[in-house]
Amino acid sequence: MLENLAKNGYQFQTYEEFSSSPVQGKVAILRHDVDRAPKNGVKMAQIEKKMGIKASYYFRIVNESYDESCINSILKLDHELGYHYEDLALAGGDKEKAFEQFKKNLVMFRKFYPIKTMCMHGSPASKWDNRKLWESYNYKEFNIIAEPYFDMDFNQVFYITDASRSWNNEKVTLRDKVESDFNIEIDSSWDIIKLIENKVLPEKIMLSTHPHNWADKFPEWVKIKVWQGIKNQVKKVLVKKA
pLDDT higher than 60, residue 90: yes
The four Cα atoms 177, 165, 161, 19 give a dihedral, to 10 degrees, of: 110
What percentage of the chain carries pLDDT values higher than 70?
84
Give domain limits for the chain. 2-241
Q: Distance between CA atoms of 147 and 150, rounded to whole angstroms?
A: 6
Phi then psi dihedrals of residue 29, to 5 deg: -90, 120
Quick one: pLDDT at residue 232?
47
pLDDT digits (tens, 9 = 90+) for 165-217: 668 656 646 677 888 999 898 888 899 999 999 999 999 999 999 998 866 76
C-alpha 225: how far from chain center:
19
Q: Distance between CA atoms of 63 and 185, rounded to whole angstroms?
A: 35
Q: Which of 130, 124, 122 is nearest to 91 (CA)?
A: 130
22 or 125, which is more confident? 22
Which residues, listed in sequence order, are joined to residue 29 by a DSSP beta bridge? 13, 206
Q: Distance between CA atoms of 17 and 22, rounded to whole angstroms?
A: 7
Mean pLDDT of 55-72: 98
Q: Distance between CA atoms of 109 and 100, rounded to whole angstroms?
A: 15
pLDDT higher than 80, residue 95: yes
Lowest model confidence (mean pLDDT) among 18-22, 68-72, 229-233: 229-233
Lowest model confidence (mean pLDDT) among 23-27, 72-76, 166-170: 166-170
**What rounded mean pLDDT belongs to the chain?**
90
Quick one: pLDDT at residue 237?
43
108 or 225, which is more confident? 108
Domain 2-241: give its CATH code.
3.20.20.370
Quick one: pLDDT at residue 221?
55
Q: Distance between CA atoms of 62 and 98, rounded to whole angstroms?
A: 14
Mean pLDDT of 44-66: 98
Cα four-point dihedral sign 19, 21, 27, 32: negative
pLDDT digits (tens, 9 = 90+) for 209-234: 999 886 676 666 555 555 555 554 54
Mean pLDDT of 63-89: 98
**Residues in contact with 214: Cβ distance below 8 Å, sequence separation at least 6, in sequence order:** 40, 44, 224
Confidence (pTM): 0.88
If pLDDT is split at 50, 70 and 90, which confidence band does 160 have?
Answer: very high
